[in-house]
């Protein structure tokens, strides 16, 4: 799951960079949301592993 989220995050960053290199607030938010999705995926995966090992 985390690997899939990382691929989606990379795709979002590539598309945002492809559209334009100039700074735009929505571009920054799109990249931030992609990174947040990866972080949440890591937290969920860690929670599952902690639950399994507990």
Catalogue all structural domains in the chain, each as residue range(s) with its CATH number. 2-53 (1.10.287.3610)
Query: Is 35 known as a binding-site position?
Result: yes
Question: What digits encode the pLDDT tens for the residues 8-33?
Answer: 999 998 988 888 777 788 888 998 99
Distance in angstroms (rounded) separating the CA atoms of residues 35 and 10: 9
Q: Does 10 carry a binding-site annotation? A: no
Give this prediction's pTM.
0.81
pLDDT (mean) for 3-8 = 92
Task: Please state, as a whole number, how many other Cβ atoms lie within 10 Å of the Cβ of residue 23.
Answer: 7
Q: What is the pLDDT of residue 17?
A: 84
| Half-sphere exposure in the Cβ direction for 8 (13 Å, CA) | 15
What positions carry a catalytic annotation?
Answer: 6
């Amino acid at each position: 799951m985390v690997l899939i989220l990382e691929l989606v995050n990379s795709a979002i960053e590539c598309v945002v960079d492809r559209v334009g290199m100039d700074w735009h607030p929505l571009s920054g938010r799109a990249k931030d949301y992609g990174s947040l999705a990866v972080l949440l995926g890591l937290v969920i995966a860690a929670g599952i592993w902690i639950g399994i090992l507990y």
